[in-house]
Amino acid sequence: MKDNILEIDNLHVRFSTFDGLFSAVNNVSLELKYNESIGIIGESGCGKSTLSFTVMRYLASNAQVDGAIRFKGENLFDKSEKEMESYRGDRIAMVFQNPYSSLNPSLTIGFQLDEVSMHHQNLNKIQAREATIKALEMMNLGDPKGIARRYPHQVSGGIQQRICIAMALLCKPDLMILDEPTTALDVTTEAVILDSIKELKDKLNMSLMYISHDIGVINKVAEKIVVMYSGEIVESGPKQKIFENPSHPYTRALINCMPRGGVVKENTKLNTIPGYVRKRGADEGGCPFADRCEKRNETCESLYGTKEIGEGHFAACDRAYATDVPDTFIEKLAPKKRNVDTDFDSEKELLKIEDLHKIYGARRKVYAVNGINFDVKPHSVLGIVGESGCGKSTTGHMVSGLFKPSKGRILFDDVDVSIAWNKRDKETLKNIQLIFQNPGRSLNPSHTVEKIIGRAMQKLANINDVKERREKIIEILRKVDLGKEYLKKKPRQLSGGEQQRVAIARALSISPSLIVCDEPTSALDVSVQASVLNLLNDLQLDTHVAYMFISHDLNVINYLSDYIMVMYAGKIAEYGKRDEVMENTHHPYTEALLSAVPEVDPTKQKKIIELEGQLPDPAKKITGCPFAGRCHKQVGEICEKEYPPMVRLSEDHYYFCHIKP
Amino acid sequence: MKYFLYQLKKSPLAVIGIAIILMWLVFAFIGPSIIPYTHTAMDSENQMVGPGMAGHLLGTDSLGRDILARIVYGSRSILTVALLTSIFSTFVGVVLGFSAGYFGGKADTFFLRAMDILMAIPPLVLSMVILGILGDSSIVSLTIIVSIAFVPATARVSRGVLLTEKSQEYVSAARIRGENHLYIMFVEILPNTMGPIIVEATARFAYSIMTVASLGFLGVGLQPPTPDWGMMVIENKPIIAQAPWTVLFPALAIASLVIAISIFSDFVSKVLIHER
Amino acid sequence: MKRLMQLFLRRLGSLIATLVIMSFIIFLLVEIMPGDVAQMILGQSATDEAVAALREARGLNDPLLERYGRWVSGVAVGDLGDSIYMQGVSINSILWRRVGHSMVLALTAFLMFVPLSILLGVLAGVKEKKPADSVISFLGLATMALPEFVSGVILISIFAVKLNWFPIVSVIPIGESLFENLNIVVLPALAITFVMFGYVSRMQRSSMISVMNSDYVRAAVLKGMPRKYVIFRHALKNALLPTITIIGMNMGWLFGGLVVVETLFGFPGMGSLLMTAIKTRDVPLIEACVLLITVIYSVSTMVTDMMYSFLNPRIRFQGGQK
């Protein structure tokens, strides 16, 4: 017991709401040793955030708690609010998901850090500021004195989060809780932050509780893993064991439904979990995963409970007992056969982009897209990848007609369509469809599914007969695996995955020849993402539509694309056939991006290329290479001064860099 | 609806508010037929009698007119004007605010400037000056002028809710489907902004009653013999020391109605905003 | 600071533009008034010739724009013209004394309701859903819903009629100044305070609640900062920002309220003067009063706007990103 810093015993957290009492955390017990890091993984709504706030004893007034949380042997539920104040920020510190809203907008950064050490360590103002500067230096922030004088809105998101972590470090806490700290950040920023968290944990002898939905991130920072589902722990154990021998069906599904380790659509169909996470009532028993589990049988209700299946390895499933070889779970589903030749070289391009520019704003200009050329072949999938602000979405929106390009041409089937939606003809509007990132926002909340899909058909496919239209809608709904009972439902009554299926059905219902998919899976949980990706792939093979697939997630892009285009600061960094870009990477930025993607296999840990600095200011026109200044391979002054030439490696693979192959 | 009733059960104040509003509506409709006096009849034998005396439930004023009758008749005109005003100003506000916010650019700038200028005169002062200059206010002129004075506020609110909805992706989806502006504004966006607009309209209803009563008080509202609650307060103010009921009851009538509507408006906003 | 200066100049420019357009609208408004000014000056018994002669002499037959130009150029150098009803007394000689009285009244009310409503609003917001909140919220709702003349009547019947503490009418005896009769300000100021308290305290409460539920307040609590410190150092400043806007926006109601309250109490201010001017159809006086109310109202909105920008670092340091 003495070597545990944190013990949670039979913790229950319930909330009473309009719909009745529901359970957010159910019978959770876990232990965390000194200087150990535990990773808590689960999809949204699984209770992982509630768990972390319960440890801080910060809960809404409609919460009912039961059980014990012992920190260094003392039960936190016995403490008064005053006593809790001396734990929070001092012995237990927390870092949140959204750094921007977690910093007070009207106080300087320095003030917000100083006050922590002034309160907990009774330092005076000058000493506190010294401690602040030290903490900021620890997070490798240049010019800490200058940063301390600024307000939060004056620094970027990545720096804001590093400031929040520095704030948590001020009192050298014994336990640090990190609640999805890198989810809102770009992957290269995430890589740098994860590295420094790991380093500081050992340096300061901290224990970590790291919460994430991303198994790759957990793999990087955690020694022990806890998998949560619908408020309960379904599996826990040392990282190695969880990855080598995932025992609970949910853990297996979770690991297998991610496109990772270079899986591509031609070889593998992604595993999926049917259904979605339900809210659980307070008195529901049995296995919470039973309704979505493929291995479910009659004992799921009666024999439910946690069992030790290896040293320190627990799972809440009786099938986990059986000598069921896990390999049979990591089954490889056969992908649909492609009946189109994957060699697109001979085809004439469907979409041709020439010198495309987009400048937003009149007085304060934002250079979003700065002159790009590429094309999309019919029936192919072009994946556009890059970090936020690289211009990938703007490009997609210009192609679909939401904005008019500032300069350059968009040729669709040899017709110039570089005009906005209100000038485009019906045929073009019908042929280019757009699927948005957030299905909840892209479907009108006051219209029914029938109206949402039907209106597109009526408007662009000229199907005016109500009966005929309804039949077509039912048919298209069936294609996206939804029954006809969905016709009269409104978006609010659907889960995120179902909403995105409706959005896909809307786009497909009028048989377009190109669909721009703008991050269509980023707002979804990984298990739902897998089924949407499978669906998109199958539908593409059926209908021969071409996709322009935009995503920040290199794994997803790699899985679905035939061609990959890497964008940086409104420019193309590298373009080519998928395998060529992934295996024969040439642009330093593509290299950095690839290295930053968290690895899911614990045996493979790769060296990260850490990018310093930030994206160039979009308000300035760049003359040199946009990546100069952050590039780990910079060759010299020429990078800053001259825009790099195109280096063509093959007909279908080129990049822009001063470094020759 | 189920949620509405659930919330209602939890909030006794809202129940009281709704009950008071219903009570006034009933008074306005059937009141005149059950009260033995009309609002102009002068009972010359019973001038300034206290409440409950000589068959006058709420007493009489210095001319012997029945206070209750005057309040009940007065409720008709004030409810009519206030209801029309809130509907009218919300409607015009939605049309103006939606058009300005939707099209943006120069139209929007012009709209904002115009509203700024209109708002530079306080609404009560504006309607008071116009009504005073025109003289002889009627239900129609009162409604039109108070509505005009309210339009800047309702239009700004409508513009605000439109702007938050406009950035939603379903609007983009409608655009690249080739929908026209009117369809997008009123079929796509409007249904999703009904919550805040209804809340604004109910709040406007309360403001209208206050404004109309204040105008009556200032003597530029409805002209005699139409009874007006505000006017009753000012005309009986000289006898407040001798016959306080002549002032107090009309004052209470205004207070109860406005408070009830405000409670209702608060409740509606709680229910509608939670549902979103 | 440079940004604030820019903002100030831009606001000043739009203020002047507003006033110019407003003055024209006011002029037009009075133009549509039924009845003939010359007839009014001379009375019903005047002969048609006399009326026509006066029209000519006062330039009433000139085109609209010319008369507007004459009026505005007069106003610009501080000449507001003469009152018609009071037989040619210059408006300057009556108006400014009244304006001074109104300002004293408005300021007294302002000093009462601003601290009171912010204090109670914050308290209600912090104690959300507790008894203190319920009491304050209901009080706010009730006072907000009472027109000034209703609360004024209630105040009169309690403090003037029953208790006899303050006068029923606010008159300044001839030859004395307001400062020798400050007791007449109390009840009118209270009546205004009532309404404004309702608006401001309710706004303060809801902004306090939303700030208390914000991520950064949660972060401050989880840093172990004591509750009081979190409320005063982290929440209050951000929660005050929307309140400042609301106070500015409600200045309109305050001025509307002034007219009502001054009429009710017979208080010798600008509002009751405007009322008299309307009743006596005194054109130049109406114009002068309305223009002045517009000026004061616009300036006070501008001041609150500038205060908002000054207190909000996101505006003060906009574009300072490095």
A438 → closest Cβ in B169, B176, B188: B169
Query: Quick one: pLDDT at residue B182?
Result: 92
> Is A102 at the interface with chain C, CB within 8 A?
yes
Q: What is the CATH number of the domain that holds B95?
A: 1.10.3720.10
Query: Quick one: pLDDT at residue A499?
Result: 93
Strands A207-212 and A37-41: parallel
Percentage of residues in chain B having pLDDT higher than 90: 21
d(Cα A69, Cα A81) in Å, to the nearest integer? 15
CA nearest C29 in B: which residue?
Answer: B130
Higher pLDDT, C78 or C34: C78
Grouping H, G, I as helix, E, B as strand and the rest as coil, residue A65 is strand
Residue among C154, C239, C159 nearest C194 (CA): C154
- Residue A191 confidence class, pLDDT cut points 50, 70, 90: confident
In a domain, B76, yes or no: yes
Q: What is the 3-state secondary structure (H, E, C) of chain B?
A: CHHHHHHHHHCHHHHHHHHHHHHHHHHHHHHHHHCCCCCCCECCCCCCCCCCECCECCCECCCCEEHHHHHHHHHHHHHHHHHHHHHHHHHHHHHHHHHHHHHCHHHHHHHHHHHHHHHCCCHHHHHHHHHHHHCCECHHHHHHHHHHHHHHHHHHHHHHHHHHHHCCHHHHHHHCCCCCHHHHHHHHHHHHHHHHHHHHHHHHHHHHHHHHHHHHHHCCCECCCCCCHHHHHHHHHHHCCCCCHHHHHHHHHHHHHHHHHHHHHHHHHHHHHHHC
Same domain? For A282 and A357 the reply is no
Query: Quick one: pLDDT at residue A173?
Result: 92
Query: Quick one: pLDDT at residue A331?
Result: 52
Residue among A415, A447, A443, A409 nearest A431 (CA): A415
DSSP secondary structure letter of residue A188: H
Q: What is the mean pLDDT of chain C?
A: 81
> Is C314 at the interface with chain B, CB within 8 A?
no
CA nearest B250 in C: which residue?
Answer: C150
Grouping H, G, I as helix, E, B as strand and the rest as coil, residue A656 is strand
* pLDDT above 90 for A470: yes
Shortest Cα distance from C245 to chain A (angstroms)? 17
In a domain, A336, yes or no: no
Averaged pLDDT, B135-154: 87
pLDDT in tens, A209-228: 999 988 888 988 899 999 99
* pLDDT above 90 for A516: yes
Out of A314-323, A546-555, B228-237, B239-248, pick the least confident: A314-323
- Residue B112 confidence class, pLDDT cut points 50, 70, 90: confident
Chain A hits for C213, CB-CB cut-off 8 Å, are: none
* Amino acid in position A114: D
Q: How far is CA A389 from CA A369, A392, A394, A590, C320, in A?
A: 10, 8, 9, 16, 19
CA nearest B189 in A: which residue?
Answer: A444
CA torsion, ordered A422, A424, A427, A431, to nearest 10 deg: -90
Chain B hits for C294, CB-CB cut-off 8 Å, are: 120-121
Flag if A115 and C238 touch (Cβ within 8 Å).
no
In a domain, B220, yes or no: yes
Q: What is the CATH number of the domain that holds A497?
A: 3.40.50.300
The contacts of residue B93 (CB under 8 Å, 6+ apart) are B150, B151, B153, B154, B155, B156, B157, B158, B200
In a domain, B192, yes or no: yes
What residues of chain A, 427 to 486, have a C-beta less than 8 Å from chain B?
429, 432-434, 436-438, 441-447, 455-456, 459-460
Query: Quick one: pLDDT at residue A325?
Result: 47
In a domain, B49, yes or no: no
Flag if B178 and A444 touch (Cβ within 8 Å).
no
Full domain range(s) for residue B114 = 2-6+33-41+55-275
| DSSP class per residue in C52-116 | HHHHHHHTTTS-HHHHHHHHHHHHHTT---B-TTTTT-BHHHHHHHHHHHHHHHHHHHHHHHHHH
Flag if C278 and B132 touch (Cβ within 8 Å).
yes
pLDDT in tens, A151-175: 998 888 888 998 999 999 999 999 9
Full domain range(s) for residue A16 = 4-236+278-288
Same domain? For A283 and A373 the reply is no
d(Cα A216, Cα A27) in Å, to the nearest integer? 27
In a domain, B82, yes or no: yes
C259 → closest Cβ in B117, B128, B262: B128
d(Cα A559, Cα A537) in Å, to the nearest integer? 10
d(Cα A59, Cα A53) in Å, to the nearest integer? 7
* pLDDT above 70 for A177: yes
The residue of B7, B166, B170 whose CB has the most chain A CBs within 10 angstroms, and thus the best one to mutate to test that interface, is B170
DSSP secondary structure letter of residue A315: E
In a domain, A316, yes or no: no
- Residue A312 confidence class, pLDDT cut points 50, 70, 90: confident
In a domain, A247, yes or no: no
Please count the structural domains in chain B.
1
Grouping H, G, I as helix, E, B as strand and the rest as coil, residue A550 is strand
Percentage of residues in chain A having pLDDT higher than 70: 95
> Is C320 at the interface with chain A, CB within 8 A?
yes
pLDDT in tens, A380-400: 999 999 988 889 999 999 999
Q: How far is CA A553 from CA A369, B61, C73, in A?
A: 20, 80, 68
Q: Which residue has the tokens 């706030």?
A: A53
- Residue A342 confidence class, pLDDT cut points 50, 70, 90: low
The phi, psi pair for A244, rounded to 5°, reads -75, -35
pLDDT in tens, A77-93: 898 888 899 999 889 99
In a domain, B15, yes or no: no
Please count the structural domains in chain A.
2
The verdict on domain C91-321 having CATH code 1.10.3720.10 is yes
**Helix, strand, coil percentages in chain C from 3-state DSSP, rounded to 5:** 80, 0, 20
Flag if A434 and B178 touch (Cβ within 8 Å).
no
* pLDDT above 50 for C321: no
Chain B hits for A402, CB-CB cut-off 8 Å, are: 172, 175-176
The contacts of residue A606 (CB under 8 Å, 6+ apart) are A595, A599
Same domain? For A556 and A649 the reply is yes
Domain definitions of chain C by residue range: 91-321
Shortest Cα distance from C240 to chain A (angstroms)? 11
Higher pLDDT, B137 or B102: B102
d(Cα A380, Cα A374) in Å, to the nearest integer? 13
Same domain? For A643 and A571 the reply is yes
In a domain, A272, yes or no: no
* pLDDT above 60 for C177: yes
Out of A144-148, A534-538, C316-320, pick the least confident: C316-320
**Helix B12-34 vs helix B2-10: angle between axes, to the nearest 10 degrees?**
100
- Residue A376 confidence class, pLDDT cut points 50, 70, 90: very high
C223 → closest Cβ in A82, A89, A154: A89
Flag if B170 and A401 touch (Cβ within 8 Å).
no
